[in-house]
Structures are given as C-alpha cells and as structure tokens.
Amino acid sequence: MARAYSRGSVLCVSTLLLLAPSVLSASDQAASPPPGICCAIPRGPSNFSKMAAARVDRSAPNFVGMAVLTFEGLLNSEPIGDYYNGAKANGGTGSGPGPSYGISFSSNALALIASSAGGGGNFGGEPSPVTTLFFLTGTGAVMNVPAGFSTGFSFYYAAPGQTGTITVYDDVNAAGNLLATLPLPLTPLGVPPAPPYDPFLPIGVSFSGVAKSVNFGGAANFIAFDNITLGSQTPQGFAEGVVPTLSTTGLLLVASLLGLAGFRALRSA
C-alpha cells in the first residue's frame, strides 16, 4: 500500500514503526538479539564470500537526468550486477535486461523481496514494494556510475540494529577523491504487527563535482536500501509524491528516542 507522510509527522510516525517481528512483544524484543533483515533463504551462488568490485563498462551511455533505482524486477537474493546497465542481472536466472542507465553494482549487492510477497525479507514500509537492496558479505555494497552524476544523491533505508555510512567518490569502485560522507543513524524498530524493518526513512546528500561511485556501508544483513535516486538530494518514493528528506540531525534524534530497545537483523539465520 502506498504511503505518504507530512513533513511534520515523519519523525513521530517513524519512532513508532520499524523492524519488530510480529511474534515478539515489546519486552521480548528488548531481550532478543537482532536478527538479520532476511529470513532463512539460500545465500545464492558461493562466490559471494567477499565483496568484489563490479565489472565496469566504461563505454556505457552517459547518464541523463534523474534515475531512480527501485530494484523491482529482480528475484529474491539475486545479485543485481549489471541489471541497471541494460543487461541481465548476475544471478543464476538472470532477470532483465533492466534499464540502460550505465549503472552496475559490486557482486555482493543483492535484491531482497519482502516476506509478505513470498521473499525472504524481514521488512515492510518500503517506498516501492516489494524489493530492496542489501548485502550479506563485506562491509558495504558499491554502485558504479562510470559516466558520472552530480548535484545530489538520496535514498530510503532501514537500519534499526546497526548504523551505516554512505561515501561518494569521483572514481569507480569506491576510489579516487572522497566527495561526500553521510552517516546513517539507527532507524526505529517496527511495532508488531509490522515486520522488523518497517518503515524506511528518506535521507540525502549534496556534493560538488562529478561522482562515479557510492559505497553503501553498514553491517552485512543489518541494513537495507530502496529507491536510490541519482541527481537529487530528495529521494523519489510513495505514489502520493516525494517524502521529505530527514536531516542527519533529525535521524539522530530518532535514534536517541529508541533508548535501549532491542533490534533484530535483516536476515535471520
């Protein structure tokens, strides 16, 4: 179901929602270790033991205008790979080809479908149901845009158990000069019957120069991303329009309100 939040109500709503399994009470959550964002599903091909740089096609078409990556059309636990490079995804079934944006992802970047839609994800409230980006190995997933993009960058994310950090670079594979760093504070824990990672919060950053890669950093299996928007500091989202982007200060306030609440990881063992 599409959702819209007013600028003044995002913090209030988000403090009440995010990542609580429906079978646990509030007291149970405080005593339980955080589960992963994924339910028990196959991890996919065995070559994901560590993060590898994405294959970069430097002849990819120039990026024009704004692009929004929703990850719809990919299968559960499928490597995203070159899906947004006008090719098939790198999974065993090879979904796609996807849009030809000239964008590729490192081999540990996977698509995850919500359990409510038959997938393995412990999440809900994503801006474009039912698929998100996550990773199971390494300390981050890298997005490469060889043609470059400028002005700003934004997305939605859910991370109730572990914080994250976004870094933007002027070369591919998270190399070259650092253009921007965006800390990702904890997001609120979902309240039953909402799933653990629900909802996703919007955030964005502006920078000078031309960016060619972004590292989505965080704890493996404890953070998910959706509606990655290139060329704008405000992520595109719900059917009713764009949800206002929360400042880092606002997210820190949300995190402080969480206190000692327990968290559950994105993917359970």
Tens-place pLDDT, residues 93-121 = 899 999 999 999 999 999 999 999 999 99
Tens-place pLDDT, residues 203-240 = 999 999 999 999 999 999 999 999 999 999 999 875 33
d(CA 94, CA 176): 31
Q: Which residues partner with 116 through β-bridges?
A: none
| Token output for 142 | 């890298």
3-state secondary structure of 238: coil
Reply yes or no: is the peptide bond before residue 193 cis, omega within 30 of 0: yes
Torsion of CA 27, 33, 37, 41, to 10 degrees: -120
Cα angle 215-221-222, degrees, rounded to a multiple of 5: 85
- pTM, two decimals, is 0.73
Reply yes or no: is the peptide bond before residue 97 cis, omega within 30 of 0: yes
**241 vs 194 pLDDT, higher one:** 194
Closest to 252 measured CA to CA, from 183, 185, 164: 185
DSSP class of residue 48? G
Q: Where are the domains of the chain?
A: 10-31+52-258
d(CA 189, CA 172): 34
Of 46-50, 72-76, 214-218, the least confident: 46-50
| Token output for 61 | 């078409």
Share of the chain above pLDDT 70, in %: 65
- Strands 140-149, 175-184: pairing is unpaired
Q: Could you tell me the fold of the domain covering 10-31+52-258?
A: Jelly Rolls (2.60.120)
* H or E, element range at 69: strand 67-69
| Token output for 12 | 């209030």
Tell me the pLDDT band of 32, cut-offs 50, 70 and 90: low
d(CA 78, CA 94): 8
d(CA 171, CA 215): 11
